[in-house]
Structure 1
Amino acid sequence: MSLSHSPEMHRKLIERVPAVTGRDLPEWFRAIDNGPAFLRCEERANWLAQEHGLTHGFARAIVHEHERKRISRSV
């Protein structure tokens, strides 16, 4: 999933996730892991936004960070 915003903006969004959503990243990662098995990141971001009432910006940032962590674990 490519970022639609700068790496600096992504970092700022990720830092604000707990304060804005009331959940930390590991909780969001579990929600993604336990959610529907979408193939595309954009589908996961849309589901996260719709299912959990997030803005698409935060949903995309969370999904992107989840992918980044998942890839780094597999390497």
Structure 2
Amino acid sequence: MGLNHSEETHQRLVQKVPECTGREMTEWFRLMNDGPSFLRFDERVRWLLTEYALAHGHATAIVHEYDLVRAHRRMG
């Protein structure tokens, strides 16, 4: 699967995640770290959708942002 929207749309979704989900991105990242170790993007999105009843756009934005942060940490 993967990210199917523009970077601008992604950033807008990321900004709205706390308001729409009641959790900050850092909390979502913690849940992702502690959750099942799915390798595929779509498996992680599906897990958020079913486990936390998120909208697809928010789940996709969380997983994509999580991947970006983790990649940045590895490079830094």
Q: How does 1:9-48 map to 2 (within 5 A)?
A: 9-48=9-48
Deviating above 3 A after TM superposition, structure 1's stretches of 4 or more consecutive aligned residues are: none
TM-score, structure 1 normalization = 0.95
Q: Distance in 1 between matches of 2:3 and 2:35?
A: 22
With the length of structure 2 as denominator, give the TM-score of the two structures. 0.94
Q: How many residues align?
A: 75
**What secondary structure is seen at the aligned counterpart in 2 of 1:48?**
helix
Alpha-carbon distance in 1 for matches of 2:39, 2:3: 17
Segments of 5+ residues of structure 2 without an aligned counterpart are none
The amino acid across from 2:16 in the alignment is R
RMSD: 1.0
Q: Which runs of 5+ in 1 are unaligned?
A: none
State the identity %.
Answer: 49
Following superposition of structure 1 onto structure 2, how do residues 29-68 of structure 1 map, counting pairs within 5 Å?
A: 29-68=29-68
